Amino acid sequence: MGTKQDRQQQEELFYAREQAEAPGHPFYQRLNQVLEQADFDKFCEDHCRQFYHSKLGRPSLAPGVYFRLLLIGFFEGLGSERGIAWRVADSLSLRRFLKYGRNEATPDHVTISRTRRLLDEATHAAVFTFVLTQVARHGMLRGKTIGIDATTLEANAAMRSIVRRDTGESYMEYLRRLAREAGLEASDEELRRADRKRKKKASNEDWINPHDPEAEVTKMKDGSTHFAYKGEQAVDLDTGAIVAITTHGGATGDTASMEETFPAAGLAVAEQIDTPTAQGSYKVHAEGLREVVTDKGYHSGPSLVALREAGVRSYVSVPKQPRRKWSHKAAEQAAVYANQRRAVGERGKQLLRRRGEFLERPFAHLYETGGLRRVHVRGRSNVAKRVLLQAAAFNLALILRSLIKAGSPRSLADLKRAFFCDLWGLVAVLLPFSTCTVGQLSLISRQDNVTLSRLAISRFRSARCRKRRSDTGC
């Protein structure tokens, strides 16, 4: 197995200072400092040792390098492993981040994908938990109030490749057979046009994609229909840290997927209760998870009863529905009415507003600017591996934002640009007064103090350039 010590090389003996060296990106330099202080490479090597042979085989990709490559996918907005490999080979700063010299070949996409298939999902989940522990140590995990929400991820499977589960026929073969059985003769275009009016013509019970059998036909946010997966996450509504994240088929209901995400979130918070916390704004709640906030898609009697039996207060948005009859359902009636009273109260309204901020923002970072809205791997396990490392990178961005006020390389560049723009604006405001004497300034201020103030503000605003930020303000 490749390790960090194996990659350490001695500097060349002659003319070392005459060689051109990349200074390295300050964001990735600070990220490497955070990872090295936490012994990230040692942790990855210890957990991945079981997947490698000690002697046989060609030199492998070091586990620390592999996980750093997936982190780069989030920070650079690259969804495919091929794009990550190309970006690393082209960037001197990313080479320095991975500890690769100019004369060394960087990992190609085949090596990255083979390493991903070699390491199981539990190992990727362990890396996510390791990063969550670092978030708790930095005082950025509360864990008392958790928000749960889900989104769809377009799978790497085309609708035109679907086949019948029972007969293995393609879609056009199925339509031709129906036409023959009905005694009709029509072209393929006429069959497609006539089939558009049929409802539920792409049911998951009848159709499957042979290239990705675990993907499910799902209606996306924009109204289109694709094979997709569903990513569901539990977010700390006090700090914005992702506590747990799970992956399901695209057609899985919210109440069904919550049965896996909610226990994972509670277990993750319970594991961090004894974590020593630095001097920060938050510490892990001593009693663990106590409040759950979701939208109306998770509103159902059995799920609310399950939350109540777990000792958790639910704040679920109440959908509009007719008056129900609660015959022989006293437990569901009590849970539904108790949730309704909490949701319409002041505390409930505050938490639901906070849900819109802290749950939608991670979706934008992970899948829009992070480049993972469409996954380029197949199989639920492979999708879960990418999603787990994407969430781990998001939590690392929270740590870096607390240290350097930037959570991505682009936001760090925007921060520096904004600082120099503010400095230049201040100089532009003060420059006209540098040639005036004290008496002239006092006379001007007595004559038209308000006009002078407005003039200074207008000059400051005109001199300050507009900040170029990302869509989500990261």
127: in domain: no
pLDDT band at 244 (very low <50, low <70, confident <90, very high): very high
Asked whether the predicted pLDDT for residue 466 surpasses 90, the reply is: no
CA distances from 407 to 11, 14, 67, 152, 202 (A): 32, 39, 18, 24, 41
468: in domain: no
Spatial separation of the C-alpha atoms in residues 261 and 168, rounded to whole Å: 34
Asked whether the predicted pLDDT for residue 441 surpasses 50, the reply is: no
Contact between 62 and 107 under an 8 Å Cβ cutoff? The reply is no
Asked whether the predicted pLDDT for residue 122 surpasses 90, the reply is: yes
Same domain for 146 and 294, yes or no, is yes
pLDDT at 24: 74
pLDDT band at 19 (very low <50, low <70, confident <90, very high): low
> Helix, strand or coil for residue 113?
helix
Which residue's entry shows tokens 């240290």? 403
Same domain for 151 and 279, yes or no, is yes
Same domain for 71 and 203, yes or no, is no
CA distances from 98 to 62, 78, 92, 306 (A): 10, 17, 10, 46
Contact between 97 and 30 under an 8 Å Cβ cutoff? The reply is no
Same domain for 224 and 197, yes or no, is no
Same domain for 16 and 90, yes or no, is yes
pLDDT band at 104 (very low <50, low <70, confident <90, very high): confident
Contact between 265 and 145 under an 8 Å Cβ cutoff? The reply is no
Same domain for 337 and 358, yes or no, is yes
Of 214, 231, 253, the residue at which a domain comes to its end is 214
Which residues lie closer than 8 Å to 390 by C-beta, 6 or more apart? Answer: 70, 73, 74, 366, 370, 372
Same domain for 71 and 198, yes or no, is no
Mean pLDDT score across all residues of the chain: 85
| Number of domains into which the chain is organized | 4
- 358-401 pLDDT per residue, tens: 888 899 999 999 999 999 999 999 999 999 999 999 999 999 99
Spatial separation of the C-alpha atoms in residues 54 and 265, rounded to whole Å: 36
472: in domain: no
362: in domain: yes
Least confident of 185-194, 353-362, 429-438: 429-438
369: in domain: yes
pLDDT band at 189 (very low <50, low <70, confident <90, very high): confident
26: in domain: yes
392: in domain: no
Same domain for 244 and 200, yes or no, is no
242-249 and 163-164 beta bridge pairing: unpaired
Asked whether the predicted pLDDT for residue 14 surpasses 60, the reply is: no
pLDDT at 241: 95
Residue 275: domain span: 140-156+219-387
Same domain for 201 and 79, yes or no, is no
> What is the mean pLDDT of the segment spanning 190-194?
80
pLDDT at 227: 94
Same domain for 228 and 374, yes or no, is yes
pLDDT band at 438 (very low <50, low <70, confident <90, very high): low
Same domain for 244 and 346, yes or no, is yes
Of 387, 418, 438, the residue at which a domain comes to its end is 387
398: in domain: no
pLDDT at 270: 95
What is the reported pTM?
0.85
CA distances from 230 to 321, 363, 369, 384, 466 (A): 26, 12, 18, 10, 37
Of 214, 249, 280, the residue at which a domain comes to its end is 214
Same domain for 46 and 170, yes or no, is no
